[in-house]
Structures are given as C-alpha cells and as structure tokens.
Structure 1
Amino acid sequence: MSTILKIVLPFILLFGVSSEENIENNIIQETTTYYFIRHAEKDRSNKTEKDPNLTAEGLKRAQRWAEVLKDIPLDMVLSTNYKRTLQTGAPIAGSKQLSIENYNTSNGFDDEFRKRTHGKSVLVVGHSNTTPQFVNEILGEEKYANIDDTENGALFTVQILPNKEILDQVLYLN
C-alpha cells in the first residue's frame, strides 16, 4: 500500500464515499487537518552552533518529505524560524507553490493559531520536543512523548472534524 494511501485511507473511510453528502454537510470545508513533522537531520559537527543547517542526508530527507506529501493538498506550510526547519519545509512549500510562514512554539494551539488554520490543511515543521507537545495540546492529553533525537521520519496527522471530534495517528517513514 502506498504511503499516501496509508495516510489518507482512515480519513476517506471516515467520510465515506459520498462526496455530495460531505459537501452538503460542509464536512470537507470545515475539517482542519494538521501534518506535523520534525526537521530532517541537522549538522552536529559544531556543538556550539545553535542554528545548524541540515546535513546532506537531511536535505535528501526534506526532498523525500516533498515526495511523500506530493498528493496531499496543503493550504499552509508553517515552520519555526530555524535553518533546519525552514530547509526541511522548503521543498514541500516549493512543490505546492506556497511560502513558509513562521509560527511561535511558545504560543501553541492558541486562539490565533486556531483561527489562522481553521478549515485548512496545514503542514507544521518543528522539533523533537515541540512537535509531540503541539499534537498533545490539540488532543488535550499527553499521548505522545518527545521524539528521540535520532528520529527524523515521524509524521503526525491530526484532524479536527466539524463536530469537534479529533482523529490522530503517527506514521514512521524511514
């Protein structure tokens, strides 16, 4: 089964096959979908560097993320303001003809973020600690632990349905 099909199949099954019914019920327009990834492999050669670039391997992974997400319609690509997250999001944003918008991890899932992203399909590029924390904040529970510092292939998907039900899953694409 293709990676894309694995990502979207649960949501297709949830919504059923009647797109006319979904449109009538405004499900498609009001569902908010978040895709969360951690930045790709960063350069660790200089321990004092607080804002390292991606390694060659990391740049390849960023390209693979663009391939994995190529058939997923995105309205926004959000990233923290670090080289490694921006470099991870760049191939994806470029393939979708979107600009990368900054988000502040300390604001979390606040009212401004909810309004900004409501009804949209959004990729959020973050870090080993901010990504699961953000997902947990949306879920309202501590479901996911911080990502191991060597894990760069986790894809968290969170959907908020019009009835406020929240669906989530995590896939590891390594």
Structure 2
Amino acid sequence: MKKLILFLSITFLFTQFSLAQTTEIWVVRHAEKDKTNPEDKDPNLSDEGRIRAGDLATYLKKVKFDLAFSTPTKRTHQTLDSLIIPKVIDYKDIPSLVEQIKNSYAGKTIMIAGHSNTVLEILQAFGAKKPKEELTDDDYDYIFHLTVKGDKGKVKMDQYGRPHHL
C-alpha cells in the first residue's frame, strides 16, 4: 500500500511539473527577400534582409535557444543564420508545428521563422491573442515573444532593426 501511495504521489508531482512548464517562443517573419527575379519562387534574402537578419541576432543576443522551426524556404532559414541555434527543424503546417512543440519541446526556448500570412496565425494557435490585426507584405521589423503554459499563450510585440515603416 505504501508503495502504491508513493508511486501515485510521484506520478502526480511529475504530471504537475509537466503541466507547469512554460515554453518560451520567439516568432518572426523572414527578413526582406530578393525581389529582382519575380519568377523565383524561393528567393534568397536581399542585402537589406541580410542586414535585418544580423539585427535580429543583435536583438536576441542574450537569448539561448534550444532549437528553431522554419518553413522550408531559403529566406526563412537565412533569417535564422545569424542566430546560434543548435537545431533547426522544417515545418509545413501550423497545427503539426504546435502539436510537435507542445508534445516534444515543452519548457524549451524556441525560435520560429514564418511568413507575413502565418506569423499571427501561429500566435493564435498557441492560445495567444493577435497583438496586431494583420502583417502586410511590407512588415519585416516585428518580433513576437510568446510564453506558453498549457493551452494559454501570452504575447508581447516589439520591433527590431531599422524601422520598416519610415
């Protein structure tokens, strides 16, 4: 009987610890892409985009990331190149991204690089409210710091690098 009570107590504590973990997620849109060839469906970053990727690294220099997620495009990967991240995993859809993070990476510090039409959707998928109505094709300087505990997410929005809206 004592062993059963001990086992149940340890199981309860472990469950509570797992549920109490806070996952820290930073979400950005890729930096400026090279638009010189309109036929290129997977362009690199432009010169301005490479500068912004460096600005992102400066902004996040005190953050130690466990891993990152990126769409499988050159521009999202290149946006993360200036950061020190031990592992970058490609994702294709938001529901599986959220499920993977919640099931396998709870309590970690994570970077996600997305696109203007996915960043706000990612925040909402983690249970946070959109801090901005929409991101336009010209919005490159926003960064979102999301803290997730269970099914609740809180987000703070900031800007980094040269302001895009001059």
124, 144, 161: which one pairs with 1:136?
124
- TM-score by length of structure 1 reads 0.74
Which residue of structure 1 lines up, in the alignment, with residue 13 of structure 2?
Answer: none
Which residue of structure 2 lines up, in the alignment, with residue 70 of structure 1?
Answer: 61
The answer on 1:150 being equivalent to 2:138 is: yes
Q: Is the 8 A contact 2:143 2:159 kept in 1?
A: yes
What SS does the corresponding residue of 1:91 show, helix, strand or coil?
coil
1:79-100 Cα shifts (integer Å, max 9, x gaps)? 11000000001111xx34x132
Query: Which has the larger helix fraction?
Result: 1
Q: Is the 8 A contact 2:128 2:153 kept in 1?
A: no
Aligned length: 145
What SS does the corresponding residue of 2:43 show, helix, strand or coil?
coil
Identity, % of aligned positions: 27
Aligned Cα RMSD in Å?
2.3
- 1:89 & 1:161 partners in 2: Cα distance? 25
Q: Is the 8 A contact 2:28 2:119 kept in 1?
A: yes
Q: Is the 8 A contact 1:109 1:137 kept in 2?
A: no
For residues 139 and 106 of structure 1, do their structure 2 counterparts lie closer, same or farther at Cα, with a shift above 3 Å needed?
A: closer
Find runs of 4+ consecutive structure 1 residues off by over 3 angstroms.
Answer: 106-110, 140-146
Pairwise CA distance, 1:42: 0.2
- 2:38 & 2:78 partners in 1: Cα distance? 19
- TM-score by length of structure 2 reads 0.77
What SS does the corresponding residue of 1:148 show, helix, strand or coil?
coil
Bigger radius of gyration:
2
